[in-house]
């Protein structure tokens, strides 16, 4: 079960990093794209909650289905966080 715990920590860490980037953007950039930055903040929180929910639901799965689901969750975690950062960088 340590792997799931580490994965949860990674999800929380990446979500926190995206949120910190959004707050830094709101603090140091002109408030032209404030609504879009707030939307990115909301999307980061929704992504975090959905991934954690899927991991908690995954505790019931066994064997190869569990391993395959973990791979999908990890790839989605990285891809969507990168997409959020790209959206944040494009709005500046």
Does the pLDDT value for residue 35 go beyond 80?
yes
Distance, CA of 68 to CA of 21 (rounded, Å): 31
70-79 per-position pLDDT tens digit: 899 999 999 9
Does the pLDDT value for residue 69 go beyond 80?
yes
Query: Residue ranges of the domains in the chain?
Result: 2-90
Q: What is the pLDDT of residue 1?
A: 44
The 3-class secondary structure across 56-92, one letter per residue, is HHHCCCCHHHHHHHHHHHHHHHHHHHHHHHHHHHHCC
Yes or no: say if 8 and 55 are a contact pair by the CB < 8 Å rule: yes
6, 62, 67, 69, 92 from 18: Cα distances, Å: 18, 32, 27, 24, 15
Instruction: Determine the average pLDDT of the residues in 3-32.
Output: 91
Q: How confident is the model at residue 2 (pLDDT cuts 50, 70, 90)?
A: low
């Amino acid at each position: 079960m340590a792997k799931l715990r580490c994965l949860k920590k990674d999800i929380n860490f990446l979500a926190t990093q995206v949120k910190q980037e959004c707050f830094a953007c709101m603090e140091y950039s002109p408030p032209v794209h404030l609504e879009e930055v707030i939307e990115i903040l909301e999307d980061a929180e929704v992504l975090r909650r959905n991934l954690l929910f899927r991991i908690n639901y995954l505790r019931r799965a066994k064997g190869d289905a569990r391993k395959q689901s973990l791979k999908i969750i990890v790839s989605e975690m990285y891809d969507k966080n990168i997409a959020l950062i790209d959206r944040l960088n494009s709005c500046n």
